Amino acid sequence: MVPVLSSTGLVLHNLGLAAGFGGSLFGKIALNPAVKVISSTEERGQVTNLAWNGFNIVNAASIGTAALTWLFGRYKLSGKEIDSTTRALVIAKDVLLGATVALGAANIASGKYLAAQAPEGRVPSETGLTPTEETPENAVKAMKAIDVMGIVNLACMAGVIGVTAILNMRAGASSKWSVLARFLP
Domain ranges of the chain: 4-181
Q: Do residues 62 and 20 make contact, with C-beta atoms less than 8 angstroms apart?
A: yes
DSSP code of 27? I
Mean pLDDT of the chain: 89
pLDDT at 73: 81
With a CB cutoff of 8 Å and minimum separation 6, the contacts of 6 are 73, 181, 184, 185
Q: Show the low-confidence residues of the chain (pLDDT under 50).
A: 1-2, 4-5, 179-185
pTM: 0.87
pLDDT at 185: 47
- Cα 132 from Cα 128, distance rounded (Å): 11
pLDDT at 4: 46
Q: Report the candidate in 136, 157, 140 with the shortest Cα–Cα distance to residue 28.
A: 157
Nearest 10 degrees: Cα torsion 88, 93, 94, 97: 170
With a CB cutoff of 8 Å and minimum separation 6, the contacts of 113 are 142
pLDDT at 78: 62
pLDDT at 183: 46
